[in-house]
Amino acid sequence: MTPLLVLRAGALFLLLILFVVVGCPLQLAIAALFPRARSILPLTLCKSLCVLMRIKVRRLGEMETRRPLLIVPNHISWLDIVVIGSAGYACFLAKKEVRSWPLLGLLARVQGAVFVDRSRRMAIPGVNREIAGRMLAGDPVILFAEGTTGDGTRLLKFHSSHFEAARDILRGDPALREAWVQPVIVDYSRRDGLRLGRAGRADVAWYGDKGFAPHLLEMLKSGPVECVVQYVPAQAVTLAETRKMMAKNVEITIRAERWQDRRQKPRQEPAPQPVQEPLQELRQEPRQEPLLVERGSHA
């Protein structure tokens, strides 16, 4: 291990200890006494983690300001929570196992995550009501609708179960005519300043059988990574739309923005310019004067 790697790993460990001992109790107190300031510590933690792991976040677009808001990004890695959390405050939906993880568990508690037991489908309505409550309180909620992480080169099918939370809000408040669903694109695009190809994106992604600790160590060892977080314009949803329609619309939007519009467009050849032929000199035939015959003359 290089001295620089040891230094970054030590700084990360100290940051986690600081937030466990001081940050979490302080965040609970701030959320209770000063609700409008509850985003300060989560944003600070996410930005600090990005600095330590040398992740440069480039934000495109803006988070929707209208509420209630459900944010739906594609899912590539556990780092998605860090990079999205550094771009704007939001709580997120996480499986219950995350609560006990060393790094993400802390981040989940600081950001007020909603935990779900995916082995109990009967618990989904209760989780949706909790999501709806957070959204009604003004907190954007992040939903990774794919349900798992991919390799960064393709988009998985979106699951619609938790989109029902938006409909729960509208059913519970007849005066509220619409909720907002915002697609977000996460793209780890460069490492060491070079554009990542298929293999490079798979190295950054955390999916399949990759362990959390080995992936974290690899991120600390590797070169700087640039991640694009693109906020696509939000979509207004009403009770006329089913949860499956919402999920499909967001999936189509992300697929079109990320996997089609960003492909290299075919090169367009310039339109041919008309060729002007060189002017040829006009040959002037010698002018023939008409033969004049005088009256009264004889040939």
Q: What is the mean pLDDT of the chain?
A: 85
The pLDDT tens digits for 90-111 are 999 988 888 877 777 777 877 7
On whether residue 265 sits in a domain, the answer given is no
On whether residue 284 sits in a domain, the answer given is no
Alpha-carbon dihedral sign for residues 129, 131, 132, 137: positive
The structure tokens listed for 155 are 């988009």
DSSP string of 143-198, one letter each residue = --TTSS---SSS-PPPP-GGGHHHHHHHHH-TT---EEEEEEEEEEEEETTEE--H
> Does 51 have pLDDT greater than 90?
yes
On whether residue 15 sits in a domain, the answer given is yes
- Predicted local confidence at residue 1, as pLDDT: 67
On whether residue 155 sits in a domain, the answer given is yes
Place of tokens 């509420």: 67
On whether residue 297 sits in a domain, the answer given is no
The pLDDT tens digits for 212-251 are 889 999 999 989 999 999 999 999 999 999 999 999 999 9
Assign 3-class secondary structure to 93-137. EEEHHHHHCCCHHHHHHHHCCEEECCCCHHHHHHHHHHHHHHHHC
Rounded distance between C-alpha atoms, residue 147 and residue 65, angstroms: 26
Count structural domains, the chain.
1
Give the CATH number of the domain where residue 65 resides: 3.40.1130
- Predicted local confidence at residue 268, as pLDDT: 44
Out of 6-10, 30-34, 227-231, 289-293, the most confident range is 227-231
Number of residues written out for the chain: 299
CA 69 → CA 61, 63, 138, 229, distances in Å?
Answer: 16, 9, 8, 17
- Predicted local confidence at residue 286, as pLDDT: 54
Contacts of 151 by beta carbon, 8 Å cutoff, 6+ apart: 76, 201, 202, 205, 207, 208
Owning domain of residue 91: 3-259
Main-chain dihedrals φ then ψ at residue 183, nearest 5 degrees: -70, 145
The pLDDT tens digits for 166-188 are 999 999 998 999 999 999 999 99
Question: Does the predicted model carry a pTM greater than 0.85?
Answer: no
On whether residue 298 sits in a domain, the answer given is no
On whether residue 40 sits in a domain, the answer given is yes
On whether residue 289 sits in a domain, the answer given is no
**Confidence band, pLDDT 50/70/90 cuts, at residue 276:** low
